[in-house]
Every structure is written in structure tokens, then in C-alpha cells.
Amino acid sequence: MEDKLEEKPPFFKEWKGLYTFILVFEIVLILIFVWMTNTYAA
Amino acid sequence: MNGLSWIDWTVMLGTLFTIVAYGVWKTRGTKNIEGYLLGGKESNWWTIGLSVMATQASAITFLSTPGQAYMEGMGFVQFYFGLPLAMIVISTVFIPLYYKLKVYTAYEFLESRFDNKTRLLTASLFLLQRGLAAGITIYAPAIILSQILSIELNYTIFFIGGLVIIYTVSGGTKAVSQTHKQQMGVIFLGMFIAAGFLISYLTDTMSFSEGIQVAGVMDKMEVIDWNFDPGSRYNIWSGILGGFFLQLSYFGTDQSQVQRYLSGSSIRESRLGLMFNGLLKIPMQFFILFVGILLFLFYQFVMPPLHFNAENVEMVKQSEYAIQYEALEEKQQIVFDAKKDLILEFNENPEDQELKSAIQAYHVEEQALMKDSKALILKADPNASTEDDDYIFITFVTNFLPIGLIGLLLAVIFSAAMSSTSAELNALASTTTIDIYKRNIKQDGDEKHYLLRSKLFTFMFGILAIIFAVMADLFDNLIEAVNILGSLFYGTILGVFLVAFFFKKVKGNAVFIAALISQAIIIVLYTLNKYEYINLAYLWYNLIAPGLVIGFAVLIQVIGKEKPIKSK
């Protein structure tokens, strides 16, 4: 079981990389939503 | 809707029966309890990811969400902003511990950390909350589908409940995960096709970007609300903070979700399954909401019904208020025609502020007419439910999509109802078998005994859900009571788990008493809010309750200097 804890995610050297990617992805989405609100909301 | 064509019936029933048959066939011959409750721990990450998403996405998600965007705009997407971070916390803290202790349920972990009574308390709260909610998961879409399909409500309930019972009892967790994949496939296909048709209808009149601009003029494109108002349902702060704790509680401690990722073949697969959800959930919710915006644009050029629940309209038109209702419809036609002309004009002159204001004024007038129509419906029948948001999307599907696709979209709604119900029954049976029966009633049974009991409990909860769904129609406030009950327990359960993970010196008695006090305070806050002494949106309870549990548990531990309690 402990060995499996060490298994790496695909495309990233460690889990921290994947977690950072997901958070950055969310921030980008929120920025797009902010842009949509500023551009299209009345 | 004047009945469904035989092609639509064939597509809908063919899709649903194929999924059920596949689930039963693919998972036949489960011989032990691990195979039945944890799917033999064979699931890969994408099966887990789809299963987690299918569990959360109930039929009401697909009926309500487009309707919500149609009425109130895109703001609901903020509700999910806390989800990716919650997935990361569960992946780093919860999953390794669940795997290390080789638990079948989330509550089993609490006995290792605290004691049996804390395990029993949280398992019982879950059983109460989910046991009742399972009935609503069937009832809420059944009431709409029965009307659309012109079938007796109870038959629709028996149909959904019966199909779910067949494959969930037969194949357990594996059947739930396998069918979730097919159901999500049908759901995505159906929603993409519906969006495609709406876009093609829109682009007959104006470009996609111009359409969004028109939606924006009528306040539908305010995706982000920066105002920190504890009373507002959705803003970026309640979404990130309250949403984070709600999603942490739901995905980390609700057995209907925990069971999905505990079926993973390794920690890696479970983690990746949750990351899959963390990555796709916000775009998926945005997309479903956006279908509502496309619907709104569609109904700027095609006259919408004044009220979307056709049964209510029929009722009021047969009452003494028929003439008044028809007068409202005539006014709506005038407003609609004038607004449509202005929108086309605005499309040519998007900088014209006067045109913008005129469109907004007509939009407000149209909304006032809709409100008046609801008041008339209530006069005609004081017991009528005038909320028609859930009927908006399905009204479009049945009236404007081609034959064949209507059947597919109805299969989407049924699939969503079945996917969340099956996960609930599966989790209820696991918790009853592992946390109640095996731990407290019969500890010396063999594999076969517990397997049979698990199947029996799944069947029993399925029947209970059906009975509850049938009864829900008889008691007006039952659904509201169940929904409130569910949202009020989540924070407390999460608080107990957070103490378990992060406050190693706090013992069983302290957290148990803290949970009871915190739950009582949350109920008091809810009551004060209900009678308008305070103004607090429900998402905040999910932040306050864990804070209270942690605070009281630490305080009681320090003051009481409680000695450690031995588990088992």
C-alpha cells in the first residue's frame, strides 16, 4: 500500500504539479468569467 | 405535449434498458463483500471520475440548471468554485488515510480515530439524510416526466426505482460504476446535441457573440458577483469559501461519493478520478447553465409560454380566471413582438443606450406578466406549485427537437435520475451493512452472509425510496424538509472528520459532545434565518458548522482533560 502512495500522476513529476495545474486552470476559468461579466453584463 | 412518437419511445426505452442490461450482465457473479461494496477495487481513474460526476448530477441538475440560467443568469456557476480545492484536499488528506485503514465506509475510519459512538452518530446522520433524499431523487424528476409523458406519477416512480433496484441489487458498486459510464455518455451526447440545435436556431438570426450581448443586456451574463453579502445565495466569496467546505463534506464524508473512489484499484486511480472531477466540474456546470442562456435567446425570437408548467396553464384556463389569464397572454404577445423588434434593431446598433434601456424595460414588463400569471394560478388553485423553472428545458426539448432526439433527451433525464439514485442505494446499503449490522449486530458472519445482507439492504432501501417518493406527493412540505435536513447535517459531519484529521489530541467524547452542540446551534441559526431575525445564505452553514465542531471539541478536550478512549 505504501508503494502505491508513491505512484506518480501522468504528465507530472509529482502530485504537487497536477494540483498546481488544476488550481491555475481554475484561476484562468475565473478570469474568463470576470472578462465575460465585464464585457457582456449590462 | 400530445404524446410521444413510437420512435422516441423506442430510443428512450432502448437506451435505458440497454444500460440496465449491460450493468447486470457485466457485473454478474459477484461472490464476496469486497466485490459487491467496493467493486473488487478494480476501477480505473476515468471510471471513478465519471462515476463521481454521475453521482452528483441528478435529473434535477439537467432539468433545473438551464431553467435557473434562463431566469436568473449564469451566477450559479460560482457555487462550484470551491470544488477543485476540495478535490485536492481530499486527494492529499482523506484518500491516503482511507486506503491505509482499508475501510469500506468513511465512518469506519472514525472508529479507528475516536470510538464506535462517533462512528454510529455520523453513519446515522448519513442514513437519515440520504435515506430520505433517495426518495426525493426519484420523486422530483418523476413529477415532471410523468406530466411530459402523460403517465401516472406513481408508474414513473416505479419505473425509475424498479430499474435502479434491478442492477444495483444485482451488481452492487461495480454495476453502479459501469452504468455511470454509459449514463454519462448519454447525458453528454444529449446535452451537446441540444446545445447544437439551440446554437443553430440562434445563428439563423444573429451571430453567437451578438446573442451573448443580447443576453447580457437582460442581466443574464453576470457570471461573477464580487459583493460580499452573507444573505445572497451565490457570490464569489460564498462560492469559494462556503462551496469549498460543502464540497469537502460531500466528496470527503458522504458515503455515496466516498464509495465511488474507494473502488479504485490504487490510490493513484482514486486521486486521478477526483482530479478529473476537479478539472471538469466547473466547465460542465458552465455548459449546462449556458444551455439555459441559449434557451433564453431562443425564446426571444419564438414566443415562450407565459408559464412553463402546462398543467397549471390548463387548470387556470378551465377556471373562473381564464379570461384574465388570456388577457395576460395577449399583453405578453404585444411585449414580445415589441421586444423582438428592438432586439433586432439593437443588433444593428449595439452602442445605442436608448435601445438597450427599452429592451430592459420590456424584459422587466415580461417578468411582471409572468409573476402575474403565477398569482392567477394560485388564485385558481391555492395548492398549485407555481415554480416553473424546471419545465423550461423539457418544454423546449419536447416541442422543438426532432423526433428521435426527444427520446434521447428524455433518456438523459432518466439516466441522471437513475445514476444518482443507484449511488445512494449502494452507499446506504454499505453503511447499514458495515457500520451498523456487521459492527453492532452480527460480527461473526461469513462472506456469503454479509453479501446477502448487503443485497437485501440495497433492495430494502430501494423499496423505501419508492415508498417515500410516492408519499412525497401527499405531503406538501416534505421535499423542503428533506432538503433542509440534508444541508444542515453536512457541516457537522465534516467538522468531526476535520478534527479526526488535524487535531490529533482531541478524543472521542470531546468531538461527540462538540458535534451535538454544533448541530443544535446550526438548527437555531437556521430557525433565526427562517423567521428573518438574521440573513444568512445556506452555503455559510457549511463553513460555520465545522468551525463550531472544531472549536468546541478543542475546548471540551482542554477543559475536560479527557482521557483517551480505546477503540473497539
Q: Which residue has the cell 507530472?
A: A12
- Give the residue among B479, B477, B460, B459 at the shortest CA–CA distance from B469: B479
Question: In A, which residues are within 8 Å of B364 by CB distance?
Answer: none
pLDDT single digits (tens) B323-373:
999 999 999 999 999 999 999 999 898 888 899 999 999 999 999 999 999
Question: In A, which residues are within 8 Å of B356 by CB distance?
Answer: 42
Identify the weakest region by mean pLDDT among B27-41, B157-171, B411-425: B27-41
- Partner-chain contact A26 B282, CB within 8 Å: yes
User: What is the model's pLDDT at position B120?
Assistant: 94
To the nearest whole Å, the CA of B92 is away from the closest chain A CA by 9
Query: Mean pLDDT, chain B, as a whole number?
Result: 90
Name which of B212, B219, B268 is nearest A42 (Cβ-Cβ).
B219
Q: How many helices (H) and strands (E) does chain B have?
A: 23, 0
Question: In A, which residues are within 8 Å of B77 by CB distance?
Answer: 33
Name which of A10, A25, A40 is nearest B213 (Cβ-Cβ).
A40
Range B5-23 average pLDDT: 93
For residue B254, is pLDDT > 70? yes
Q: Is B85 on the interface with A (CB under 8 A)?
A: yes
Question: In A, which residues are within 8 Å of B283 by CB distance?
Answer: 29
- Partner-chain contact A22 B96, CB within 8 Å: no
Q: Which residue has the cell 484499484?
A: B265
Question: In B, which residues are within 8 Å of A1 by CB distance?
Answer: 99-100, 267
Contacts (Cβ under 8 Å, ≥6 apart) of B458: B165, B168, B169, B172, B425, B426, B428, B429
For residue B541, is pLDDT > 70? yes
Q: Is A19 on the interface with B (CB under 8 A)?
A: yes
Identify the weakest region by mean pLDDT among B95-99, B189-193, B535-539: B535-539
Query: What DSSP line would sit under B78-114, residue for residue?
Result: GGGTTHHHHHHHIIIIIHHHHHHTT-SSHHHHHHHHS
pLDDT single digits (tens) B451-488:
999 999 999 999 999 998 998 866 656 666 666 666 78
pLDDT single digits (tens) B417-454:
999 999 999 999 999 999 999 999 988 888 889 999 99
User: What is the model's pLDDT at position B560?
Assistant: 81
Residue B272: which pLDDT band, with cuts at 50, 70 and 90? very high
To the nearest whole Å, the CA of B227 is away from the closest chain A CA by 13
For residue B264, what are the β-bridge partners?
A: B43
Name which of B212, B223, B268 is nearest A7 (Cβ-Cβ).
B268
Residue A2: which pLDDT band, with cuts at 50, 70 and 90? very low
Contacts (Cβ under 8 Å, ≥6 apart) of B428: B127, B130, B131, B134, B255, B256, B457, B458, B461
Alpha carbon distances (Å) from B116 to B41, B517, B548: 26, 19, 22
Name which of A10, A23, A39 is nearest B84 (Cβ-Cβ).
A23
User: What is the model's pLDDT at position B26?
Assistant: 83
To the nearest whole Å, the CA of A19 is away from the closest chain B CA by 6
Range A10-37 average pLDDT: 94
Provide, rounded to the nearest whole percent, the portion of chain B with pLDDT above 90. 68
To the nearest whole Å, the CA of A16 is away from the closest chain B CA by 9
Q: Is A35 on the interface with B (CB under 8 A)?
A: no
User: What is the model's pLDDT at position B567?
Assistant: 45
Radius of gyration of chain A (CA): 17
To the nearest whole Å, the CA of B396 is away from the closest chain A CA by 25
Name which of A4, A22, A30 is nearest B278 (Cβ-Cβ).
A22
User: What is the model's pLDDT at position B260?
Assistant: 92
Residue B387: which pLDDT band, with cuts at 50, 70 and 90? confident
Q: Measured between alpha carbons, how far is B145 from B229 in angstroms, rounded to an integer?
A: 37
Alpha carbon distances (Å) from B41 to B81, B246, B261: 30, 27, 9
User: What is the model's pLDDT at position B478?
Assistant: 62
User: What is the model's pLDDT at position B568?
Assistant: 43
For residue B105, is pLDDT > 50? yes
To the nearest whole Å, the CA of A11 is away from the closest chain B CA by 12
Q: Is B91 on the interface with A (CB under 8 A)?
A: yes
- Give the residue among B180, B157, B158 at the shortest CA–CA distance from B168: B180
Question: In A, which residues are within 8 Å of B74 by CB distance?
Answer: 33, 36
Q: Measured between alpha carbons, how far is B514 from B548 in angstroms, rounded to an integer?
A: 8
For residue B158, what are the β-bridge partners?
A: none
- Give the residue among B426, B545, B434, B427 at the shortest CA–CA distance from B110: B434
Q: Is residue B346 a contact partner of residue B359, using CB atoms and an 8 Å limit? A: yes
Residues 333-392 on B with a CB inside 8 Å of A are 356, 360
Q: How many CB pairs under 8 A join A and B?
A: 80
Q: Is residue B236 a contact partner of residue B225, using CB atoms and an 8 Å limit? A: yes
ipTM for the whole complex: 0.89
Q: Measured between alpha carbons, how far is B78 from B90 in angstroms, rounded to an integer?
A: 20
Residue B535: which pLDDT band, with cuts at 50, 70 and 90? confident
Range B78-104 average pLDDT: 94
Q: Measured between alpha carbons, how far is B44 from B49 in angstroms, rounded to an integer?
A: 9
To the nearest whole Å, the CA of B418 is away from the closest chain A CA by 30
- Give the residue among B44, B43, B56 at the shortest CA–CA distance from B87: B56
Q: Where are the beta strands (DSSP E) in B353-457?
A: none
- Give the residue among B225, B139, B89, B132 at the shortest CA–CA distance from B488: B132
Identify the weakest region by mean pLDDT among B332-341, B526-535, B559-568: B559-568
C-alpha cell belonging to residue B68:
435557473
Question: In A, which residues are within 8 Å of B275 by CB distance?
Answer: 9, 18-19, 22
Question: In A, which residues are within 8 Å of B282 by CB distance?
Answer: 26, 29
Q: Measured between alpha carbons, how far is B109 from B98 in angstroms, rounded to an integer?
A: 7
Provide, rounded to the nearest whole percent, the portion of chain B with pLDDT above 70. 96
Q: Which residue has the cell 464506535?
A: B116
Residue B273: which pLDDT band, with cuts at 50, 70 and 90? very high
- Partner-chain contact B268 A9, CB within 8 Å: yes
pLDDT single digits (tens) B129-166:
888 888 888 998 898 889 888 899 999 999 999 999 99
- Partner-chain contact A33 B223, CB within 8 Å: yes
Name which of B87, B223, B268 is nearest A4 (Cβ-Cβ).
B268
Q: Is A27 on the interface with B (CB under 8 A)?
A: no
